[in-house]
Amino acid sequence: MQSKKRTALMLFAFGLVVMTLLSTPTRSNDIPSALDWRDNGGNFVTAIKDEGSCESCWAFSAAAMTESYYAIQNSLSDPEIDLSEQALISCSGDGSCSTGGDMGEALNYVRDKGLPPEACFPYEGEQNACNLCDDWKSKVTKIPGWSWVDEEQADDEAIKSALMKGPVTAWFHVHSEFEDYTDGVYKCEGDYVGDHFVLLIGWDDSEGAWIAKNNWGTDWGEEGFFKIAYDACGIGQWVAQVKNGDDDDDDDDRGCGCGG
């Protein structure tokens, strides 16, 4: 009789342990130590571009996230999709080449109006009048919605979770030596010179760094890409992600207005 009781108690205790393990939320164990959307079952990052002297980092970052979202949704490795940043600069009313723009408003525009192909309104790098092609409405690519991953408080695990679904836009402080970056992990050691938006495409815990796509041409950095330390330059604040149609859209148009 005692043996049966002990057996019953052991089975009951084992059941409690299993239930506890199943009900405990998983955290970083589900997040890999590294991810790069250039090599994640294919390459889902579009070609490097160059914004030139126009302060249009916000437009390039929003367009790049939309391009990668489209590529991932359609399983298009080495995607050739090329969307018009000039449409955001000249037609959205969100910003300009001299003042920069607001990421929240830019993403609202991509969600509501969409972006036409580059050929419909090629990049001019100037604040010119809106001059979309006649049939632009039939050619646009939209996002179903968007949200801030985090705003004024960086959350690395939340950003990694968002990145597992696709690239995200990210804002950070630019310091004087960033222009001369060639390789390695950028850590913001010079004087502050401005703000910038880029596209985060992954991370590498072994280097303690995010992997990012810039829009300063392929002659800059690591052929247009760079790595930035997790805790550097305010990176991780004001990170935005695409949200699927079954999620609630985020109409919050707050954001970090910045130049390039």
- What average pLDDT does the chain have? 86
For residue 165, what are the CA distances in angstroms to 43, 121, 227?
14, 29, 20
Q: Using CA atoms, how far apart are residues 224 and 120, in angstroms rounded to an integer?
A: 25
Q: Is 128 a catalytic residue?
A: no
- Pick the catalytic residue: 40, 108, 214, 215? 214
pLDDT in tens, 127-141: 899 999 999 999 999
For residue 42, what are the CA distances in angstroms to 80, 92, 143, 165, 188?
13, 32, 21, 14, 31
> Which pLDDT score, from 0 to 100, does residue 245 have?
62
Residue given tokens 């985020």 in the structure block: 250
* Residue 8 pLDDT level (bands cut at 50, 70, 90): very low
> Which pLDDT score, from 0 to 100, does residue 63 have?
98
Residue 15: what are its φ and ψ, rounded to 5°? Answer: -65, -40
Q: Is 97 a catalytic residue?
A: no
Range list of H helices, 74-218: 85-91, 103-112, 156-163
Q: Mean pLDDT across the stretch 72-95?
A: 95
> Which pLDDT score, from 0 to 100, does residue 244 have?
79
pLDDT in tens, 26-50: 345 589 999 999 999 999 999 999 9
Q: Using CA atoms, how far apart are residues 61 and 168, in angstroms rounded to an integer?
A: 8
- Pick the catalytic residue: 57, 188, 233, 256? 57
**Residue 24 pLDDT more than 60?**
no
pLDDT in tens, 212-253: 999 999 999 999 999 999 989 999 989 999 997 654 445 554
148 or 259, which is more confident:
148
- What are the E-state strand segments in 86-160? 146-150
pLDDT in tens, 153-196: 789 999 999 999 999 999 999 999 999 999 999 998 889 999 99
Q: Is 175 a catalytic residue?
A: no
pLDDT above 90 covers a percentage of the chain that reads 75
- Pick the catalytic residue: 40, 54, 175, 196? 196
Sorted by where each starts, the structural domains of the chain and their CATH numbers stand as 36-242 (3.90.70.10)
